[in-house]
Amino acid sequence: MTPALLPAVPPAPCRRAAAHRAVRLAAAGAGGATEMLAAARALEAAGRRVIHLEVGEPDGPTPPHVVEAGVRALRDGHTRYAPAAGIPALRAAAAAALGARGIPADPACVVVAPGARAMLFSALLAALRPGDEVLVPDPGYAAYGAVARFAGGRPVRYRLRARDGWAADPDAVAARLTPRTRVLVLNAPHNPTGVGITPEALAGLAELAERHDLLVVSDEIYARHVYDGAGAAAGAHPSIAALPGMAARTVVVDGLSKAYAMTGWRLGYGLLPPALAGPATAVLAQQATCTAAFVQHAGVAALTGPQEGVAERVAELRVRRDRFAARLDAIPGVRCAVPAGAFYVFPRVAPGAGPVSAAGDPAPALARRLLDAHGVACVPGAAFGPGGAGHLRLAYTAPVDDLDAAAAALRACVAPPGARG
Ligand SMILES: Cc1ncc(COP(=O)(O)O)c(C=O)c1O
């Protein structure tokens, strides 16, 4: 009989591993959309049909020429490690795409990452010192605060307010500045509200960043999803990095997930000030080594190939937005603005509408009822910060029939108890 290589002692729980896990998970926070998706998937596993309005991803397929480029790259043997900062062709294509939006971009300062979220992570890890304060929008994409904490920083929320149409206000940002403030995070068009930042506000925020020597992290993943105003005419939301001098203190975070229906490919990139490009690449190299080479080749096809498909998808989303927002706004107790960008609506539900949860915010219980009773998945606004309480985020990346059914379901949920079906 072969002697056992290891003595037969029962495995003991590793206390040290548990301690590390606790620290990291506390920093990570919870993901509202991820939790709702898990609940929705559980219902589907039990045989129920679910309308998915909780996850922010286009419902259409990746364009065929992009898929083809990825497959061709696999066949051509692009199956090995790639340069940590990305293949030169993709860095050049990304720089050109940014340049077309008026952002001065040197390919040497473009870093490719497995997703915009990974880019955000690498940039903040590269930039932050322990205790640095990071100004993040509230409500806002939950990753900003979580990643800032991961990186040893301290997220400080600046409020966006429904009564101001969720517009970013330089004065509200200035009010949150302290001597420890180091980074200002902007996101336009904005998740979860869909609202952009006006050119005047961008100028005010740029002035603030210069006066207080802040690094700006500008998340522009929805830049191509603009439906109204000057941004729609230009085909993209304006970037703070295009303002004079701002590229030197701005990290532009972008990616292919939303504009090219490539959420599952995991492909993003950043344009960084020269002094940060190297450190951010080092973080990426330690975390992921590189972004998959064949995926990057597909990305080159997406950025350099025909762009009409993007415009067509945006036009289709605009039709859905108008119809869905109007139907939601017509529900008694629900107020739904028509946001100018991204692909979310963020209706307010009146206190007392639907089943009220313990904290007095009707949205979480409403979201739960929508899912359990009607098979409609969405995210309560408080998952994006306390400023989102009283709201629901619904992605209108679904066929109009499903959006109509979702609006009817919300109407049924908020109807007075006696009138509920
Ligand atoms: C504002 C914002 N930034 C970044 C991301 C992440 O994008 P990616 O899929 O490229 O990691 C998302 C995804 O929902 C988002 O809403």
Pocket test for ligand 1, best of 217, 221, 222, 379 (most atoms within 8 A of CB): 221
Q: Is the CB of 265 under 6 A from ligand 1?
A: no
| Confidence check: pLDDT of 165 > 80 | yes
Rounded CA gap, 386 and 144, in Å?
A: 14
CA 385, 387, 392, 398 torsion-angle sign: negative
The one-character DSSP state at 192 is T
Quickly state the pLDDT bin for 17 (edges 50, 70, 90).
low
| The token pair that represents 79 in the structure block | 């199956």
Q: How far is the CA of 27 from the centre of ligand 1 (A)?
A: 18
CB 270 within 8 A of CB 276: no
Quickly state the pLDDT bin for 28 (edges 50, 70, 90).
low
Torsion, Cα 43 47 49 50, to 10 degrees, reads: 20
Predicted confidence (pLDDT) per residue in 233-268, tens digit: 888 999 999 999 999 999 999 999 999 999 999 999
The residue whose C-alpha atom lies closest to atom 7 belonging to ligand 1 is 116
CB 293 within 8 A of CB 73: yes
DSSP for 194-207, written as a single string: -----HHHHHHHHH
CA distances to 56, 150, 399 from 319, rounded to whole Å, are 17, 39, 11
Quickly state the pLDDT bin for 420 (edges 50, 70, 90).
very low
Q: Which amino acid belongs to residue 341?
A: G
Q: Is the CB of 375 under 6 A from ligand 1?
A: no
The residue whose C-alpha atom lies closest to atom 13 belonging to ligand 1 is 56
Q: Which amino acid belongs to residue 78?
A: H
Predicted confidence (pLDDT) per residue in 190-235, tens digit: 999 999 999 999 999 999 999 999 999 999 999 999 998 878 888 8
Q: How far is the CA of 266 from the centre of ligand 1 (A)?
A: 10
Q: Which amino acid belongs to residue 206?
A: A
The one-character DSSP state at 60 is S
Pocket test for ligand 1, best of 111, 190, 217, 257 (most atoms within 8 A of CB): 257
Rounded CA gap, 168 and 140, in Å?
A: 11
| Closest of 251, 197, 249 to residue 222, by C-alpha | 197
Rounded CA gap, 341 and 238, in Å?
A: 12
What number does the ligand 1 atom closest to the CA of 119 have? Answer: 11
Using only C-alpha atoms, the chain has a radius of gyration, in whole angstroms, of 22
Element (H, E) at 320: helix 308-329
Rounded CA gap, 107 and 89, in Å?
A: 9
Strand locations in 8-87 (E): 51-52
Q: Is the CB of 291 under 6 A from ligand 1?
A: no
| The token pair that represents 4 in the structure block | 């056992």
Quickly state the pLDDT bin for 421 (edges 50, 70, 90).
very low
Q: How far is the CA of 115 from the centre of ligand 1 (A)?
A: 7
Residue appearing with tokens 């991204």:
342
Mean pLDDT of the chain: 92
pTM for this structure? 0.93
Q: Is the CB of 263 under 6 A from ligand 1?
A: yes
Predicted confidence (pLDDT) per residue in 149-162, tens digit: 999 999 999 999 99
